[in-house]
Structure 1
Amino acid sequence: MTTPDERMEELMLADEPEFQHVMECVFDVQSHESRTYLALLDVPGSTIAELAEDLDRDRSNVNRSLTTLVEKGLAERERRLLDTGGYVYQYTAVSLPVARERMHEAVEEWSAQVHERIDEFGSSR
């Protein structure tokens, strides 16, 4: 498992980074979480069981990925009542334009912090 710093270094060295790689770096998510996001884009309203089958992953792993995506604001969860009683959660990815905007905001925030550090360098000497 790579660290956020290692992912950032890889991203900065890549000539043409893939969207998924940028997403992983900016939001500090793992590749299985970004794959889950992309799967949700293709099939909005998916359940954990459906995603587990589509991604060929264990349901508990998919559940953890979805929890992370919801926490990061990249997916939304909605409870749907079943005709037979009970309920199931359905997950939908935020739209690609929303995810892109959030990525831009995160990069701009990071850039401002880097510029601040550059400006501070040597001021205590």
Structure 2
Amino acid sequence: MDPDPDPSRFRDLMLDSEPGFEEVLRCVFGVQDHEARLYLELLDAPDSTVAELANAVDRDRSNVNRGLSTLMEKDLADRRRRLLDSGGHVYQYRATPPDEARELMHRTLDEWAAYVHDRIDDFPNGD
């Protein structure tokens, strides 16, 4: 994960008294709204193609491709290549299962907390 996390991305999460799963996902992983929607769509429709996802989330294919790249970088999705009977191939995408995503969230927050504790320890003593 990010060795020097941006604490500002957690500010909204800490200030929200009852954040939902999507808000937590966005804050913890630093993803955009449409990327969080893509993740949720992939949970509902595993093995979707870019075209199917673009239609489902009402975004153009280039935006969906960029969002999927971000999700894969964050270990929130993966892709598989499927050969077509007519020749060629298509990529299908699948969300990281929720239990694994939860574990990633816990690990990311633990790393962020350690980062904050280090900053506190660096605070001058005032002697």
Q: Specify if TM > 0.5.
A: yes
Provide the residue aligned with 1:24 in structure 2.
Answer: 26
Aligned residues: 122
Provide the residue aligned with 1:58 in structure 2.
Answer: 60
- Inter-partner Cα distance in structure 2 for 1:120 and 1:111: 14
| Matched residue type, 2:22 | Q
Indicate the RMSD between aligned Cα atoms, in angstroms.
1.4
- Tell me the alpha carbon deviations over residues 70-117 of structure 1, each in whole angstroms, 9 at most, x when there is no partner: 111000110000000000000000000000000000000110111111
With normalisation by structure 1, the TM-score equals: 0.92
| Matched residue type, 2:20 | E
Provide the residue aligned with 1:71 in structure 2.
Answer: 73
- Inter-partner Cα distance in structure 2 for 1:121 and 1:108: 20
- How many Å apart are 1:7 and its aligned residue? 3.8
| Matched residue type, 1:8 | F
| Matched residue type, 1:106 | T
Ranges in structure 2 where 5+ consecutive residues have no aligned partner: 1-5
Ranges in structure 1 where 5+ consecutive residues have no aligned partner: none
Provide the residue aligned with 1:80 in structure 2.
Answer: 82
| Matched residue type, 1:18 | G
- Inter-partner Cα distance in structure 1 for 2:34 and 2:41: 10
